[in-house]
Amino acid sequence: MASKPEEKTATKPSFFKKKRVKQLTVLVFVIFNILIIYWTASKELSREKTANLEGPTFTWWLLVLAVAAFICAMAADIYRYYILIQHFTKKKDIKLAAQTVFLGRYYDNITPSAVGGQPFQIHHMHRHGNIDNEHAAMIPIIAFVSLQAAFVVLCFLTIVFGSGLVLSDVTYAASFVGILLMAFAPGTILFFALKPRVAKKIASAVLKFFYKLHIIRNIDSTEEKTLGEIEKYAQTVRRFIKNRKLLAKILALSFAYQGLLYSIPFLVVRAFGGDVGYLPATMTAFTIQAAITFVPTPGNAGAAEGSFYLVFAHLGSGNTFWAMLTWRFFTYYAFIALGGLVYLDMAYHRRKNSLNAGHPANSTN
């Protein structure tokens, strides 16, 4: 009898500690973003002695085009997931596809180096979409690889055809380094899918190393399960690649998403008075993203704003601060807001269902 109160008092501090850590993390995250905005604003004021921040002039129809580009990009991304979900599960669920996209982008932008999206997408599709673990894991992987492949190809093409428009040798070199970094993950995934024997040998060696460190206890069953999952993964990817029609659809939508999203910098810079062409603006946007992808901050915060402001302030005139804020809204804050709305919607329906379950008389209404 005496042990029960001890258990309760032992669990309370850990609960409140976790809650405080979470609240502190959110607070630091918000303060960090405010400081970044303040820094770019102060740079704008020092660069332009006129009151650029008080009343920026802009071309409204270019901002409308930027909004349209963002909406079309998201529609292309949602349709990619809709097609993949339908292909692997035979389900036609546009709501699940939209939730998966928004939650993936949300976690990409609140986790360091944008590496949190796929695990949460897998969890969401398995738990809320009733999709088995194998296909719930495969859908985000295929979506990720196709999107990265589209980015690498478009980035390479903009550099090749716009090589004379690059700002500096540093920018030119950084773009190629960025391409290699962005191509590494999808290239590795495809290599292991097409060469499962190599993947199995590497996985087996890693498992045996962990077994020697006493991290893994039952090496035989763990190795058998892991190698079996690798084989199933490789077979699924090979079947997907052989389906030329499906592959063409996913790649076309991936190229559309990247092309639309990276047209936004050109539209917002021109909307706020910048004198920049489409190709240098798009190429610069690709270069910036490639260079900052692995910056270890949530959503690459800080590096994105700073690099965009410094590069575009040099590339063209105009209210670069407001262009930067608008661009970050479309590529950062909007994803967090959309993911937050999905969470609120899910919480509302979960609470509504629990209330209905607690009041059977009202459930038939």
d(CA 63, CA 195): 47
- The residue ranking higher by pLDDT, 190 or 365, is 190
Tens-digit pLDDT profile for residues 116-129: 678 888 888 988 88
Q: How is residue 58 written in tokens?
A: 């802009």
d(CA 66, CA 60): 10
Count the neighbouring beta carbons within 10 Å of the beta carbon of residue 206: 12
Q: How is residue 108 written in tokens?
A: 């990409």
d(CA 159, CA 65): 25
Is the distance from CB of 139 to CB of 329 less than 8 angstroms? no
Find the angle CA(263)-CA(266)-CA(268) to the nearest 5 degrees: 105
Sign of the CA dihedral 110, 116, 118, 121?
Answer: negative
Is the distance from CB of 178 to CB of 287 less than 8 angstroms? yes
Looking at residue 71, its pLDDT comes to 96
d(CA 242, CA 255): 20
What share of the chain in percent tops pLDDT 70? 69
Looking at residue 296, its pLDDT comes to 56
Q: How is residue 138 written in tokens?
A: 């495969």
Average the pLDDT over 185-202 and give the result: 81
Average the pLDDT over 76-97 and give the result: 94
Give 119's contacts (C-beta < 8 A, 6+ positions apart).
107
Looking at residue 50, its pLDDT comes to 45
Looking at residue 10, its pLDDT comes to 46
Angle at which helices 60-89 and 264-271 cross, to 10° = 160
Q: For residue 78, which amino acid is it? A: I
Q: For residue 183, which amino acid is it? A: A
Q: What is the largest CA-CA distance in the chain?
A: 79
Q: Where are the domains of the chain?
A: 59-349
Looking at residue 72, its pLDDT comes to 97
Looking at residue 76, its pLDDT comes to 97
Is the distance from CB of 184 to CB of 292 less than 8 angstroms? no
Arithmetic mean of pLDDT over the chain: 76
Tens-digit pLDDT profile for residues 29-50: 566 666 655 555 555 445 454 4
Give 340's contacts (C-beta < 8 A, 6+ positions apart).
106
Count the neighbouring beta carbons within 10 Å of the beta carbon of residue 32: 14
DSSP 190-218: HHHHH-HHHHHHHHHHHHHHHHHTTS-S-
Looking at residue 363, its pLDDT comes to 42
Average the pLDDT over 242-270 and give the result: 92
Tens-digit pLDDT profile for residues 285-333: 777 777 666 655 555 554 555 556 655 655 555 577 787 788 888 888 8
Q: Predicted confidence band at 164 (pLDDT cuts at 50, 70, 90)?
A: low
Tens-digit pLDDT profile for residues 274-285: 777 787 788 777
Indicate whether this model's pTM tops 0.75.
yes
Is the distance from CB of 52 to CB of 46 less than 8 angstroms? no
Q: Is the pLDDT at 358 greater than 90, yes or no?
A: no
Tens-digit pLDDT profile for residues 62-84: 999 999 999 999 999 999 999 99
Looking at residue 109, its pLDDT comes to 76
d(CA 76, CA 50): 41
Looking at residue 62, its pLDDT comes to 92
Under DSSP, the state recorded for 163 is: G
Count, in order, helices (H) and strands (E) of the chain.
14, 0
Average the pLDDT over 1-6 and give the result: 48
